[in-house]
Structure 1
Amino acid sequence: MCGIVGAIADRDVVPVLIEGLKRLEYRGYDSAGIAMVVGDEVRRVRRTGRVAEMEAAAQAEHFSATLGIGHTRWATHGGVTEANAHPHISHGALALVHNGIIENHEAQREKLAALGYVFESQTDTEVIAHLIHHHQQQGLDLLAALQAAVKELTGAYALAVVSKAEPQHLVAARMGCPLLVGLGIGENFVASDVSAILQATRRVIFLEEGDTVDVTRTGVTVFDATDSRVERKVHVSDVSLASLELGPYRHFMQKEIHEQPRAIADTIEAAVDAGGFPATLFGKNAESILRQITGVQILACGTSYYAGLTARYWIEAITGLPCSVEIASEYRYRAAYANPKHLVVTISQSGETLDTMEALKYARSLGHLHTLSICNVPESAIPRASELVCYTRAGAEIGVASTKAFTTQLAALFQLTVVLGRLHGKVSDQEEAQYLEELRHLPGSVQHALNLEPQIAAWAERFALKQNALFLGRGLSYPIALEGALKLKEISYIHAEAYPAGELKHGPLALVDATMPVVFIAPNDRLLEKVKSNMQEVRARGGELFVFADQDSHFSESAGVHVIRTPRHTGVLSPVVHTIPVQLLAYHTALARGTDVDKPRNLAKAVTVE
């Protein structure tokens, strides 16, 4: 993995490929390359490092072509070297780019080596290139060779292939990793993300599992897993180029943190306009489905998992229904208990997270009947595979560290909670009106929290000198402590851990000394006095406290105790508001340490491999 773009046109596609790769930089990568068919040869340039370095090399070679593919790679098989970078070439005849992981690559490598193929890289991808070339040598055309090759592969892939033998064709295939086709006039494209081709077109076809596609300048032909020709719906993307530009901000992460009032307002707009929480927020058949469920099973990874942990507090307290939350990559490999009357909720920003998609498939195989997806990307794989859907309307999220996707997921999950509570007789009309009023005020409360940025930036200067940090919270604040620790470690590379504050005495207190900053999420709720006691435990060991408290909490600063007050307590929605300060703390700490905020090392935006 990580990013794919391909083009066939009546014009020079090299600028299109390079611009597309720049648009995909946000996904995280460690090398980049392009390959093109020029006359009777396949030409290629690859570089480790940034797209700009590869671009300079391509310009120095005066590359120009009407058919080509490009890739940004995040290393899985083999180290970060030019030999392992994509595209990979077989016998100088065809070039291929690949997202995903091929699980049976070692067996295929042995077979191909016995046929005389020489491998120049450590990747699983080069296996696919040689396999397609082998099938071409058996007399198959490029598309048929691709279709034959993928039937021999086990694993996940998105592939784009060009061959000097067929300079009028660009072929591609998808299984487990996102891939789409862009439709133009006298030109067509393939990409792993619509942002890569927005410069050229908004009309796209989302390929489905097992699809292969033959792309020419004048047409696109899609085939399903049985190699039968099929028609796929054409969509017009509503992603704007403006959302992919920085504007006045230093980084996309900062931009996206500040976009949260608008993103939340857009996510809750339908409920506000309806004056309540109709089940149709989640689909036209949602009411009959949600009435009959007797519990909720949430499956997610990373930040989305923490959103699910927050929702568990809401769901069980407000609806009276049992709710379990599991990391998708763990759930899919254990003998899980399945109750057909439980609703399976999958949460994914991209809608393409492989572990979450596979966990959904596993849940259905166990007998779960009803599924709901909370996602930010329309027509992505997980929503398409789900019975009910709620789109979070966060807009394009470019920074690898998720921000507005998380808070909009929380907004969507809260709406689901109230819908379930109403349908199961646990939320009265008066309570529904109160929840709606709190939700309506949420964007404003988030904006007030954003206004604390200068104070938080001052704290960050102190954090930047540290090597470790603890984040603590109780109840609804515990998942936000987890999210704060994750954000800090993701982009500043400071080791950070989060615990329920009540667990201090059961181990973490041993870490506390004068060099350990301890962040407390301390809203003015029923657990506040308990949290104050935990703070005293830290101070007694010499720990330095950094407290995010509500405006109406009674905290005072003193030696070793620093306090920033967020807006007045926002009740059950306080987790959303308290997310903002921990995001800003991570961002400004990373800024002070000089790390690559939008592209943290070793991480990718859309995790489409195990």
Structure 2
Amino acid sequence: MCGIIARIGADDGVDRLLGGLERLEYRGYDSAGIAVENGVGLAVQKCSGQVNELKESVSDSGIYGGIGIGHTRWSTHGPPTDDNAHPHTDSSGDVAVVHNGVIDNHAELREELKAEGREFTSDTDTEVIPHLFERHLEDHAPEEAFREAVRDLDGSYAIAAMVEGEDAVFAARRGSPLVLGVGDGEYFLASDVPAFLEHTDEVVYFEDDEVGVIRPDDVELSTLAGEPVERSSEIVSWDPEETGKGGYDHFMRKEIETQNTSLTNAIQGRIDDEGEEPDLDDFPAGTFEGVERVQFVACGTSFHAAKYGAQLLNKAGVAAQAFRASEYDDAIPVDSDTLVVAVTQSGETADTLGALDRATAGRARTVAVTNVVGSSAAREADDALFIRAGPEIGVAATKTFSSQVVALSLLAHRISADAAGDSPWDDPRAYYDELKRLPDHVQTVLDREIAEGVADDYLGSDAFFFIGRGLAYPVAIEGALKFKEITYEHAEGFAAGELKHGPLALVTPQTPIFTVVTGGEDETTVTNAQEAQTRGAPIVAVSPADHRITDVADAHLPIPDTHPDLAGLLANVQLQLLSYHTADSLGRSIDKPRNLAKSVTVE
């Protein structure tokens, strides 16, 4: 979940390193650092805290260099201190390393290396890597020494390393993302494309157990065993301006407000001319014949989108379940008649990739639903469906959730038509007509925004409950997740019918109940909300304007009339705005909430 950046070129690249780190802070912001080769040795500057603090110390130090590596950290081993910040060096200071991932055998390696007299100064697992590199440099040239050091490691890693006197960055990957950017007279390495997108959109993705040696005028890729690798570069379609705030106070606010664009991209060209079928290039009619069951695997917000997709399939008579990827183990039956759909925004979520591996081992067919072309999930699954949301920088997922749900709804129609000969919708044309209007409906919610006032009215409440039934349930638990992520307030999401089976004991007049109703089968949801209201809790309805819940609600967040199976996405926008304004009023770090990172690449 940490962020890696490297820049390899002839002129000074420190500003590019620092700019890359700023664009990677969504991956970690406990500490940061850089190392550069300046012609007389390796200069290392690092500190606990955020990148702007590093920039100040770099400015004071005056370090420079054309070849360098950088890192912004999300702590796994050891607290966020100056000593635990990356880059880490060997005993002599001749080797510098940045690393993302977890070295499983670091404790054993540390004891071996300490027995040889090598001194450690941090609590991190990463520090074994420069010491191993140093050890192998005693017997090998730098490239082979690096390769030998990597062979000693068990676990997951993306590594970028430098050696004094070598005009090169050495890189390796296993289980953590690493991408090469091919610029004009310079190269970049990063854990994510936005780090260097303003400089180049030409990329080469590293695959597991590959090693790279990147010099200012040359790149050599090979396997860990030393076999050469030839791979063509790709062009990333993202606009560099998408990685900036564009005048907004926060990335999250920008990403909420640009959902109409991301949804347009998710839908465009994916509905047939008659408006009654999905038109997915990689999934023509008949693709999923023989599928008997569908299993979704995902984490966090993606899991909530997966639950939405599973409910749509169940409506069409296809057996479908959504599993938290971290709980998807060998006890879950899977065979060649099973379709496993991995839902992951980044395509690099460690638990989801692990679930994908288990599905493949069980002979299941696999599909990745992701935002990132070239990601591990997209490459490892049998097929991929891209949500086309563009870069999302705020840690709390917003536009990617809505784009995931849209992509999953299209996939659900294709699966159900092939596997069950049926559709999740009684009137597909009516659904697709409303799907085309969805971006405009989202814009209507944004144009008529009243969430700030509702947020102010309930500021200071003891707890915040979110309830829904059917397709409104995934929206309710997503609303609660978003709220707790960025406000740090106690929020919980419940299936509406479960409120009376325990949670009602927590209800007080200081516990607003945000009640999501979509115009479907939600009469009982109104009753459940009223049960809480009789105990003093205020009801905040998130519903179409003409829904009967507005007659009993204490406050109302309205959504436009639409198909019941799409109403949840409009309710979700209202709940995103509610969370945003509450967090803003509380002075929270909205884009970088405490203890969280965007892409969870460790298990």
Cα distance in 2 for partners of 1:210, 1:227 equals: 10
Tell me, yes or no, if structure 1 residue 354 matches structure 2 residue 350.
yes
Cα distance in 2 for partners of 1:267, 1:360 equals: 24
How far 1:336 moved relative to its partner? 1.9
- Structure 1 partner of 2:584: 591
- Structure 2 partner of 1:73: 73
SS in 2 for 1:64: coil
Tell me, yes or no, if structure 1 residue 324 matches structure 2 residue 321.
yes
1:451 aligned partner, one-letter code: D
Q: How many residue pairs were aligned?
A: 601
TM score, norm. by length of structure 2: 0.97
- How far does the alpha carbon of each residue in 1:259-284 deviate from its partner, in whole angstroms, 9 at most, with x for none? 11111111111223644466761616
Cα distance in 2 for partners of 1:180, 1:27 equals: 15
Cα distance in 1 for partners of 2:548, 2:425 equals: 34
2:359 aligned partner, one-letter code: A
How far 1:438 moved relative to its partner? 2.2
1:415 aligned partner, one-letter code: L
2:200 aligned partner, one-letter code: T
Cα distance in 2 for partners of 1:279, 1:272 equals: 5
Correspondent of 2:524 among 530, 554, 559? 530
- Structure 1 partner of 2:30: 30
Tell whether the 8 Å contact from 2:3 to 2:21 is kept in structure 1 after alignment.
Answer: yes
Greater helix fraction, Structure 1 or Structure 2: 1
TM score, norm. by length of structure 1: 0.95
- Structure 1 partner of 2:85: 85
Residues 450 and 165 (structure 1), Cα distance of their counterparts in 2 relative to 1, 3 Å cut = same
- Structure 1 partner of 2:369: 374
Tell me, yes or no, if structure 1 residue 44 matches structure 2 residue 40.
no
Tell me, yes or no, if structure 1 residue 291 matches structure 2 residue 284.
no
- 1:71-220 to 2 correspondences below 5 Å: 71-90=71-90, 91-137=92-138, 139-166=139-166, 168-220=167-219
How far 1:199 moved relative to its partner? 2.9
Tell whether the 8 Å contact from 2:309 to 2:405 is kept in structure 1 after alignment.
Answer: yes
- Structure 2 partner of 1:395: 390
How far 1:128 moved relative to its partner? 1.0
Tell whether the 8 Å contact from 2:31 to 2:82 is kept in structure 1 after alignment.
Answer: yes
RMSD: 1.7
Cα distance in 1 for partners of 2:524, 2:425 equals: 33
- How far does the alpha carbon of each residue in 1:458-500 deviate from its partner, in whole angstroms, 9 at most, with x for none? 1111333224211111111111110000000000000111111
Cα distance in 1 for partners of 2:357, 2:85 equals: 32
- How far does the alpha carbon of each residue in 1:16-63 deviate from its partner, in whole angstroms, 9 at most, with x for none? 101111111222321110011223421111121111111111111111
Tell me, yes or no, if structure 1 residue 471 matches structure 2 residue 466.
yes
2:141 aligned partner, one-letter code: D
2:312 aligned partner, one-letter code: W
Higher deviation after alignment, 240-249 or 508-517: 240-249
Q: Unaligned stretches of 5+ in structure 2? A: none
Cα distance in 2 for partners of 1:492, 1:36 equals: 38
- Structure 1 partner of 2:406: 411
- 1:457-606 to 2 correspondences below 5 Å: 457-527=452-522, 529-556=523-550, 561-606=554-599
Tell whether the 8 Å contact from 1:277 to 1:419 is kept in structure 2 after alignment.
Answer: no
Residues 190 and 83 (structure 1), Cα distance of their counterparts in 2 relative to 1, 3 Å cut = same
- How far does the alpha carbon of each residue in 1:582-605 deviate from its partner, in whole angstroms, 9 at most, with x for none? 111111100010001001011111
- Structure 2 partner of 1:302: 300
Cα distance in 2 for partners of 1:162, 1:28 equals: 22
SS in 2 for 1:98: strand
Q: Unaligned stretches of 5+ in structure 1? A: none
Q: Percent identity?
A: 39
Residues 135 and 426 (structure 1), Cα distance of their counterparts in 2 relative to 1, 3 Å cut = same
How far 1:556 moved relative to its partner? 4.1
Residues 564 and 199 (structure 1), Cα distance of their counterparts in 2 relative to 1, 3 Å cut = closer
Cα distance in 1 for partners of 2:147, 2:98 equals: 16
How far 1:221 moved relative to its partner? 0.6
Residues 592 and 222 (structure 1), Cα distance of their counterparts in 2 relative to 1, 3 Å cut = same
- Structure 1 partner of 2:15: 15
SS in 1 for 2:121: coil
1:565 aligned partner, one-letter code: P
SS in 2 for 1:147: helix
Tell whether the 8 Å contact from 1:299 to 1:346 is kept in structure 2 after alignment.
Answer: yes
Cα distance in 2 for partners of 1:197, 1:268 equals: 28
